[in-house]
Structure 1
């Protein structure tokens, strides 16, 4: 008994085993430093846009315009990497090296690659910088954020002055930006298993709409009769002369409605990111289209596309609320007041 008690006493007196200390993760950068970084980045973007706007009036040489375009592409690459939780230093250095090499060598292939890179990054960044919005005024604000980012990218595309086909450039930018947005949203939307039945229908419908639109446009351009093409070009010219700009059908019917609906849906569930991904159907081709016309024509085209797209988006949001939300105005107001799904702020990583 005494021996057993001594053993128990020894066991009780023994110190607990030491736990293996895990390596401490580096502390996050202070908020003030991050704020200053975004502030200086915004100022550089504004300065680059000012140079690009002056370059359109033939005040500055082409080298200055291309240099400003390289700065904007680099900053956009850094911002997209920060927003998506990537490596901003590597992304920025890669964009800067490619930009400097393209401008210094003035190779058509390098300049065309920079144009495609700028269009894709601008389209995806415009969508990724949006925040959830429970009310329609908030939805309009987020759509305007995406439009401003895409419009700035359009100025950078024009600043490179690359000899590329605008139609092919629009197709390439749309395809690459849609693929990139879907890959990023795959992580944000909890993968394919988090789609649900309605999300699967939305994803299939969006991909089908993009495919059918591009296929129909290409078939019309290649195999339509000269009379039909002449009538279509005459109609477009008449609309341009009457309204001052030609609206973008893909942005009106798919891009802006998808972005508006996705931003509204994200205030309630993260699967709204899958809908937002199709917002590149507005930010991608719109950036390319705005870069190929004058500022006045581009402004009118953007205005018509934006207004018509927001009208369609408002109808889609109301239809979704009618089918899946509470009935009655009072119930919808209460539901909108409680729909505040948290997401990181605009300058913080969303992944």
Structure 2
């Protein structure tokens, strides 16, 4: 992979094509034609489920009974995508997810509807991050950013279509906790565990984790123990933002979740430890997928808030990307053509 020239510096040898640094499972289908056919069916199911679920928030002349079956179809599609991408056992997770969707659509009990909505949110938020590709260019990072948000938004529609009677704060906390746990479990192998992190990457990871804790703890403290004047100032600012812009960006998405998505997909093009940054991107996608779970939520307000969060999060992410992806000058002087890390295609198994 490297060679030393006589009397010169040690230089990278880019003549050897890079290989994926993890073993992957055998293809689930032996025939490439059958695999493509199944992929097309899943894509059609995603389109149909998203379109049907969108009728829950958009006034169109369609039968009301298609809403929850569309949400169930989306949940199954997310389960297929995440299980396949993460190298899981399709024969276990797919029947379980399909059974939950069928029972929720048929019986319509509060517990089943809430469970189906939570599973939809978790699967969509994690799959939205795992389906991204490593990119080394600026425009590539923006493309992956938009693609991940598109998948997460379809999950938002799926959650809204269930119309589950839940407490928003509790539901959001459960989805966020389970999504982070699932993401860490999947990333543990993809990111070579914590021991695979270098000193700089570990510092970045700990810094982001500390920022998450500070934001959550501070927001909770202000709501419960903050002075009346401080709480009123925040309330007035939110009200002014809502009246002026008809929406308000969500800080946890702008400062943590969405920037981590930009930095993570870029860092993955060089080192597999970039997966650890993407764990925090799940925070952003999880908050996004649960934004319409409350039946009283206004779709226009949530849509504009998401747009503002996406734009501001993109700006913050690009600034951080520029800062964190700078090559050390000594290494830049030694390298001729740094080898770009490769991964399987977007819809192939990662392990």
TM-score for both structures, normalised by structure 2: 0.84
Give the whole-Å Cα distance in 2 for the aligned partners of 1:98 and 1:325. Answer: 54
Aligned to 2:54: 53
Aligned to 2:300: 296
Give the whole-Å Cα distance in 2 for the aligned partners of 1:175 and 1:95. Answer: 19
Give the whole-Å Cα distance in 2 for the aligned partners of 1:26 and 1:119. Answer: 28
Aligned to 2:14: none
Aligned to 2:256: 254
Are residue 34 (structure 1) and residue 35 (structure 2) matched? yes
Relative distance call for 1:28 and 1:114 in structure 2 (3 A) is closer
TM-score for both structures, normalised by structure 1: 0.84
Aligned counterpart in structure 2 of residue 315 of structure 1, from 304, 313, 319: 319
Q: Would you say the 8 A contact 1:63–1:103 is kept in 2?
A: no
Question: What per-residue deviation string (whole Å, max 9, x for no partner) do you get for residues 199-232 of structure 1?
Answer: 2222322322222322222333333455544443
| 1:170-189 correspondence runs (5 A) | 170-189=172-191
Q: Would you say the 8 A contact 2:163–2:293 is kept in 1?
A: no
Aligned to 1:97: 99
Give the whole-Å Cα distance in 1 for the aligned partners of 2:76 and 2:150. Answer: 17
Aligned to 2:277: 275
Relative distance call for 1:110 and 1:221 in structure 2 (3 A) is farther
Shift of 1:346: 0.6
Shift of 1:195: 1.0
Aligned to 1:346: 346
Shift of 1:128: 0.1
Are residue 138 (structure 1) and residue 140 (structure 2) matched? yes
Corresponding residue SS for 1:152:
helix
Shift of 1:146: 0.9
Aligned to 2:208: 206
Give the whole-Å Cα distance in 2 for the aligned partners of 1:325 and 1:242. Answer: 47
**Taking CA–CA contacts closer than 8 Å with sequence separation of 6 or more, which of the two structures ends up with the larger relative contact order?**
2
Aligned counterpart in structure 1 of residue 70 of structure 2, from 56, 68, 71: 68
Give the whole-Å Cα distance in 1 for the aligned partners of 2:241 and 2:284. Answer: 20
Shift of 1:302: 1.9
Q: Would you say the 8 A contact 2:168–2:293 is kept in 1?
A: no
Aligned to 2:268: 266
Q: Would you say the 8 A contact 1:255–1:283 is kept in 2?
A: yes
Q: Would you say the 8 A contact 1:134–1:339 is kept in 2?
A: no
Aligned counterpart in structure 2 of residue 83 of structure 1, from 82, 85, 88: 85
Shift of 1:309: 1.1
Greater share of residues in helix: 1
Relative distance call for 1:26 and 1:276 in structure 2 (3 A) is closer
Gaps of 5+ in 1: 1-24
Give the whole-Å Cα distance in 2 for the aligned partners of 1:171 and 1:270. Answer: 29
Q: Would you say the 8 A contact 2:29–2:35 is kept in 1?
A: no
Aligned to 1:15: none
Q: Would you say the 8 A contact 1:119–1:288 is kept in 2?
A: yes
Give the whole-Å Cα distance in 2 for the aligned partners of 1:245 and 1:155. Answer: 18
Give the whole-Å Cα distance in 2 for the aligned partners of 1:203 and 1:265. Answer: 12
Shift of 1:291: 4.7
Moved more, 282-291 or 136-145: 282-291
Based on CA coordinates, which of the two structures has the bigger radius of gyration? 1
Moved more, 175-184 or 291-300: 291-300
Aligned to 1:20: none
Aligned to 2:9: none
Question: What per-residue deviation string (whole Å, max 9, x for no partner) do you get for residues 19-65 of structure 1?
Answer: xxxxxx89852222111111111111111111122232264455421
Shift of 1:261: 0.7
Give the whole-Å Cα distance in 1 for the aligned partners of 2:290 and 2:330. Answer: 41
Relative distance call for 1:238 and 1:104 in structure 2 (3 A) is same
Give the whole-Å Cα distance in 1 for the aligned partners of 2:257 and 2:28. Answer: 39
Gaps of 5+ in 2: 1-25
Give the whole-Å Cα distance in 2 for the aligned partners of 1:53 and 1:261. Answer: 31
Corresponding residue SS for 1:289:
coil
Question: What per-residue deviation string (whole Å, max 9, x for no partner) do you get for residues 221-257 of structure 1?
Answer: 3334555444433321221221121111111111111
Q: Could you say what the CA RMSD is over the residues aligned between the two structures, in angstroms?
A: 2.4
Aligned to 1:43: 44
